[in-house]
Amino acid sequence: MTEAAELIDNDFLRQFELKVDDNMAVIEYSLQERKIFLTKMIIPETLDSNEFQKDFLELVFDNIKERNISVVPTSPEIAKFVRSNRKYKRMLPVGIRI
């Protein structure tokens, strides 16, 4: 479902956006120094599935990885994703454990 959609980093609203059909999934963030705090994930009910959530988070994390920024997930859903995906744990800043 996310293959045709394009991830947009809306830095004015400080959120990642993924529009699928007439729905938009959002992850809000706060950028401080070389760290990005992922604070809130909003997924419309029509898109709310574990597979969509996983794909959306992978797109966001891959985008952040390209920028070489550390990630601090403050949202419970995002922290759970990091715990279950070992490759993204390396993106946490030194001293942060999830």
Query: Residue 25 is part of a domain; what is its CATH number?
Result: 3.40.630.30
Enclosing domain of residue 67? 7-89
**Does 19 reside within a domain?**
yes
Measure the CA dihedral 54/36/64/48, to 10°: 20
**Phi, psi (5° rounding) for residue 43?**
-125, 125
pTM (2 d.p.) = 0.90
**Does 98 reside within a domain?**
no
Q: Which DSSP state fits 5?
A: -
Q: Which residue has the higher pLDDT, 95 or 56?
A: 56
- Residue 2 predicted with pLDDT over 60: no
> What's the rounded Cα separation, in Å, for the pair 60 and 77?
14
pLDDT tens column, 51-91: 999 999 999 999 999 999 999 999 999 999 999 998 999 99
Number of domain units in the chain:
1
Asked whether the beta carbons of 79 and 98 are under 8 A apart, the reply is yes
